[in-house]
Amino acid sequence: MDISITTLALLVLAPLLVWRVYNRIKSRMVRQRSIVSRHYTGVLVFGGMILVPAAQLLDTPFNLGALAAGAALGIGWSVYGLKRTRFEDTQQGYYFTPPARLGILMAMILVARLLYIGVEIYANQGKGIPAPRLTDEPLTMLCVGLTAGYFGWFSAGLLQWRRKLRKAVDVD
């Protein structure tokens, strides 16, 4: 078996990359200040992660269905996650603590799929096989939908929480 230096480097660096991504995601799943503009950004970015591929998949109903199924599952998990989120209204401001394990799982599902695609591209290098597009595989679309549905709906839930707080202040 002939292992090139590049392959060896990939085998050594891939776990390091996964560990760094995991730590980065984990550091975001702690108590944090609720900033409305970030929540709007989350809705727009993750909504775009669903709508852009959906527009490209109109002629591929199976992949479109996988994206929609992933988004529906992600939204379902987000509803559960919002119920497990700790919301705080303090003198210093508004804070929330998301369920860390669930958020990390949702993000790492997409990271793992993208890493797999990267390895597939590397393995097929020089074999005349074209690099796959993200929208080519139903499993990828399922992962994209799951992650985007979860974080997009979670951001929308945070906006709804802040809106309820604003209405409560206006009533008083």
Asked, for residue 19, whether it belongs to a domain, the answer is no
Distances (CA, A) of 156 to 8, 79, 127, 163: 43, 10, 45, 10
d(C-alpha 40, C-alpha 156), whole Å? 8
d(C-alpha 114, C-alpha 168), whole Å? 43
Cα–Cα nearest to 165, from 98, 97, 90? 90
Asked, for residue 10, whether it belongs to a domain, the answer is no
112-128 confidence digits (pLDDT tens): 999 888 888 888 887 88
Asked, for residue 51, whether it belongs to a domain, the answer is yes
> Which pLDDT score is estimated for 15?
85
Q: Which domain holds residue 167?
A: 33-171
Diameter over CA atoms, the chain: 74
The total of structural domains in the chain comes to: 1
Asked, for residue 3, whether it belongs to a domain, the answer is no
Residues in Cβ contact with 18 at an 8 Å cutoff, skipping those fewer than 6 apart: 111, 112, 115
Asked, for residue 76, whether it belongs to a domain, the answer is yes
Share of the chain above pLDDT 70, in %: 97
Q: What is the DSSP letter of 29?
A: S
pLDDT interval class at 2 (50, 70, 90): low
Asked, for residue 93, whether it belongs to a domain, the answer is yes
31-47 confidence digits (pLDDT tens): 999 999 999 999 999 99
Q: What is the pTM of this model?
A: 0.89
d(C-alpha 27, C-alpha 19), whole Å? 12
Asked, for residue 2, whether it belongs to a domain, the answer is no
> Which pLDDT score is estimated for 130?
83
Please give the mean pLDDT across all residues of the chain: 91
Asked, for residue 23, whether it belongs to a domain, the answer is no
Instruction: Report the sign of the C-alpha dihedral through residues 154, 160, 71, 51, in that order.
Output: negative
